[in-house]
Structure 1
Amino acid sequence: MSVHEDAVRFPDGTEGIYGVIDKEDFALIVPRHDDGRFQLVQQFRYPVGGRYWEFPQGAWETRPGTEPVEVAMGELTEETGLRAASMTRLGYLYGAYGFSAQGFHAFLASGLEAGQASRDREEQDMLTAAFSLEQIHQMIRSGEIRDAASIAVLGLLAIPEPQ
């Protein structure tokens, strides 16, 4: 990750500063079980000082340039222990393009098979569980889910396939 300030000239000719965070894109995985429930993870997020539920997600900072689907498959197994028979691309979104060009590749994981999670050191206290869409909506309303990327990807899921 790098942080920098750029001197910029706005369309009206005035000058200003833009603070920018450069960070590797990440993959966000929406694991959907055959019964329609979705697998979420809960972990402590240091910058906001709280534990929240979210869809599995992550980046491989030590392997920049890795294909997003490979990152998605790896993060799914690492965080939940699940392996997916199919990984369908849902889209690409920016999380905070007012100060960062970091985006995320969203995937729908299906044909899930249980396995063993192998979490990173900072994920040791991570929990995982499956929830219905109705439960997820309630968790958003109650503040148990506050991750903007997880909420945004529900919008991608709601868009019908072209006929």
Structure 2
Amino acid sequence: MTLKDTPEEWQVTATTTPFRGNKTSVRTDSVVMPDGTVVTRDYQVHPGSVAVLALDGEGRVLVLRQYRHPVRHKLWEIPAGLLDVPGENPLHAAQRELYEEAHVKAEDWRVLTDVYTTPGGCDEAVRVFLARDLSEAEGARYEVSEEEADMELARVPLGDLVRGALAGELHNTCLVVGALSAAAALAGDGFDALRPADAPWPARPFEA
């Protein structure tokens, strides 16, 4: 038996959008179930995101600490951000986020993993990249504001992130998924066996 997620779309008989925000909205669909009944499903419509597990030559991951108001926590995270426009190349978005949040560039990029963050209530898809061969970016630092103005930056051994995730001390989805995926890749066929940075992403099709 091959374990592989497959696309499928059940019939939608009606759709409304009761809320529209700056970047996301909420949609209500009337969906036909296999037994013929029609139920409503509310979910957040999201543009999609990218995240970057940036690994330096000493095996340390670049992380940042940021306040997240919905959960009332300061969370350790990896650089991440929204796709700005439909069809945006996710690699370009990831390179932008690494520059803006850490003023760092990378020469080697791979796809670490692709995930749906909360598929029961949101259509957000995230592509997590592995970035290596790091160096400081050229030019002026990106001017941050709001929550980002209070960010802390650090470089932490990958193993410490794995231990923190398993101990229930680190909770950010992209950090946990990225760290565990990187550790699994190292224990398996290695980073060079990962998908190339321009690998197809059916959840968020993009221009090359």
The answer to whether structure 1 residue 109 and structure 2 residue 131 are counterparts is: yes
Deviation at 1:91, TM superposition (A): 2.8
Q: Within the alignment, does 1:32 sit opposite 2:94 as a pair? A: no
Offset at 1:90?
Answer: 1.7
String of CA shifts for 1:79-105, please: whole Å, max 9, x gaps. 111111121122321111112221011
Greater Cα radius of gyration, structure 1 or 2: 2
Write the mapping of 1:5-84 to structure 2, written as runs, cut at 5 A: 5-61=28-84, 63-84=85-106
**How far apart are the structure 2 equivalents of 1:125 and 1:137?**
25
Preserved CA contact (<8 Å) 1:52 1:144: no
The TM-score normalised by the length of structure 2 is 0.71
* Deviations 1:18-45, CA, capped at 9 Å, x for gaps: 1111111111100000010111111001
**Identity within the alignment, %:** 27
Q: Which moved more, 1:79-88 or 1:134-143?
A: 134-143
Q: Distance in 1 between matches of 2:144 and 2:68?
A: 14
Task: List gaps (5 residues or longer) in structure 2.
Answer: 1-23, 194-208
Of 131, 142, 145, 1:118 maps to 142
State the SS of the aligned residue for 2:150.
coil
CA-CA distance at 1:14 after TM superposition: 2.5
Show the 5 A alignment for 1:128-139. 128-139=153-164
Cα drift, residue 155 of structure 1: 3.5
Task: Quote the offset at 1:144 in angstroms.
Answer: 4.1
Is 1:2 matched up with 2:21? Answer: no
SS in 1 for 2:100: helix
Please say if residues 82 and 117 of structure 1, whose CA atoms lie closer than 8 Å, have aligned partners that are also in contact.
no
> Between Structure 1 and Structure 2, how many residues are aligned?
161
C-alpha offsets along residues 11-69 of structure 1, whole Å, 9 cap, x if unaligned? Answer: 122221111111111111000000101111110011111101011110143x3322000
SS at match of 1:71: helix
- Distance in 2, matches of 1:144 and 1:117, equals 31
Relative contact order, CA 8 A, sep 6+: which one is greater?
1
**Over 3 Å off, 4+ runs:** 141-144
Q: Structure 1 pair 81/144, CA: closer, same or farther in 2 (3 Å)?
A: farther
Partner-residue secondary structure (3-state), 1:86:
strand
State how far apart, in whole Å, the 2-side matches of 1:46 and 1:23 are: 18
